[in-house]
Structures are given as C-alpha cells and as structure tokens.
Chains A and B, each alone.
Chain A
C-alpha cells in the first residue's frame, strides 16, 4: 500500500507541463547533481547511467576500461569504443594547439604524485625528471577503426572526462525530449534552456579564497557549459607547503604562475574542460593572449585577487564580491 501511495504521488503532477526531476549521485569520484524538466522521471536515471558508462570507459583505474587497457598494452594497438577514440583525438588536438599546456599523457606523473590517494607525496626531482620523459603525448596514435596505440605512454583523461560527459548528457537530453535542465558534475556544469518561469539559470563562480559554497560572481547561462580548474581542489600539504593537482607538463610540478582558478564557458562541454586546464597551466599573461586569439571565453583569478576576463565573461560576468580587482 505504501508503494501505491508513493507511485500515486509521483504521478500526481503529470499534467501538461513537464515535471521537475532531481537526482544526486556519486560518480567519477565526485557529486553529480541534476535538475531536469521532462515528461518522464526516467531521464535522470538515464543520465546517471550514461555518466557511469563514460567512467567505465575512460577511468584509468577501472581494469576493464579502455584507458586502463591502453595503459597496460605494452605498445600494442588496442581496440576502443568510438567515444574513447573521439575524446583521445580531441585531447591530442588541444595538446598540440596549446603546445602541451594540456597534456592527456600525464598518467605516470599523476601516479607518481598520487593526488587523492593514500600515497600522495612530493616526489624527488630525479623521479619527476624521469617520468617527465614518459609524458610525451606525441607518441599517442589514434588510428582508423578506433585503434589506439600509446607506445608506452600512460594516458590520464581526468582533465577532460567531466566536460565530455556534459556533451553526452546534452545529447541524451535532446534524445529524450527533455526541457530545461541544469546538470553539474563536480563543478562542470551544463545549463539547458531557461527555467520554466522564464528566468535564466544562474551560476556562481566559486570564490577560490572561500569555501566550496562561497561564490564571488555570477553568470546567467543559457544552453552553455562551464568548467573551472582551481588550485584549491585535490591538493595536499607536505612539509608545510601546499601542492595543488594541476601539474605543469613542462616541469612535472604544480603550475606556479600566480593563478588560483580559471573558468571557461562554451557551448561544448569538452572544450570547457580542456581549455580551463590548459589556460591555468599557461598562466594569466599567456593564457589571456591564447584565449583572445582563439576566441575562448575565460575568467582568470590570480592569487592577489585580480581578475582577467576574455570573450563573454567581459560583459556577462557579474562580480558580487567587492574584494576583487578587475583589470582592463
């Protein structure tokens, strides 16, 4: 009888307007929140399954994943899912475009540092120099027929999977005829349509100097994605020094250029994730130049609270915290 009551209440709202469905799950080591207006509650479960499927393909730790197989293939061709091949290809393109600021071949270096695991530690300069030689993304080949040969290099798609998931979610929501939606996967967000009352989705940009729920400015997003790379996440302290997890592929050490976060917005989720990482590594000066040159909308926050904005951030970003200084 209780089940009947729950079912009845669940169906009670099924009128003309699409119903709001929300869900929270944990995947890719982070929180996945969804708010979707749709005709069926099945959408949220479908979305959750989809993100889990992506993790199953692209996680570097799941032994049956494409990435794990590539990383343990000892220089042989590995047949992978078309999605994996696509993501690797896109990653390699951006790696080349950014001259390695984004590098999908950081598996060895990230494993050495051990961020987020019990073995997180500061490796010796000798060991870092050694694994640096193993992070050559130019060795990775993606061949016709979705064959990948990493030629001994270890892939790590941590800096791109969440953004890719946003694109997949968009396609899934299209497929299922969903209305407005807001999906957030560890801070990578896709804002679809506008809320039923006509108001746009309002996204806060996390205050790097506050807690995870403090924000220093807002953006109204419609049919857009946004991702942020910040030095405040997944770092650790050793010997009184804080080491963040965005490793500069050129040095093997956390990027140390005065930036604390970079946010990128774009219609494509994959782009937001790839470029937020790359621009963070580049630093403000080179990053702003690159973003302007390639028409990327980005927000750079420095450790002395200066802001640099390119593209749509210039007009659309509303600063809500007076403690920041906007340049130009």
Chain B
C-alpha cells in the first residue's frame, strides 16, 4: 500500500501555524501599541519567537544553528547554557534594565527587555 502520510498536512499543523501567526500578530500589536510591563522578546534571524514576562521565572530554549538556554529569574535575564563558539552571550551575565539585550551573534539570536520608559535608544560601544 502506498504510504501517503508524508504529503498530508495534519490538522494539528494548521492549528499550530495559525497559533504562531496569531501570537505574532498579538506581539506586533503590543509592540506597535507601546507595550505594557517589562517583557523579554526573543528573536531568531530578526523574527520574534516568543515574548515572556520579565517578572515570572521561566526558562526558554532557542534552537538555531546552536542552542541558547535563557533563564528569567528574579526579574533578570541571562543565558545559562549555550554551545555557541565563544559563549559571549553567556558571558554577558544577567541583565534587567529596560532596553537591555543579550545577543548570540553566531546563532542569530537576541533577547531584549522591552516595555515603557526606555531611557536610551541605542548604545555605542
């Protein structure tokens, strides 16, 4: 019997895709609307993956070419584990300020703390 499973888009795929799109639209609306409260926005290749509140302890793992494991703990954000070449992201340590971000360049990943009241627009350094 011919196996035709590989070409079937399952219902769960559609639901999952729709959920991600809706989440993306919600995030877009939040960011465009100025956002409320401090949240961490995780991006891979510039695309938003997730948005988590800074005041709720959690871990979040990003799989790109490498793996970064982020921890939100006590309203701070840091990388607890990574297999990227220089671990610069992990060496950044914990950040908590509005507008602060942790970047893993080899993995094309960034995690930024956003919300109201960003004092500065960018850092030169």
Contacts and interface: CB of A to CB of B under 8 A. Distances in A.
B13 interface: no
A215 B121 contact: no
Nearest to A118: B85
Contact of A203 (B28, B86, B123): B123
B6 interface: no
Given A211-B92, A213-B97, A2 B17 contact: yes
B58 interface: no
Given A24-B46, A212-B92, A204 B122 contact: yes
Nearest to A29: B105
B108 A212 contact: no
**Majority secondary structure, A binding face:** strand
B12 to A, nearest CB: 16
Given A2-B18, A5-B25, A211-B95, A206 B124 contact: yes
Interface residues of B, number: 32
A205 interface: yes
Contact of A23 (B28, B46, B123): B46
A277 interface: no
A30 B102 CA distance: 13
B121 A31 contact: no
A214 B107 CA distance: 23
Contacts of A212: 92, 103, 123, 125
B105 A30 contact: yes
A226 B121 CA distance: 13
A87 to B, nearest CB: 21
B120 interface: yes
B25 A6 contact: yes
B121 A213 contact: no
A13 interface: yes
A203 B25 contact: no
Interface string A226-238: 1110101100000
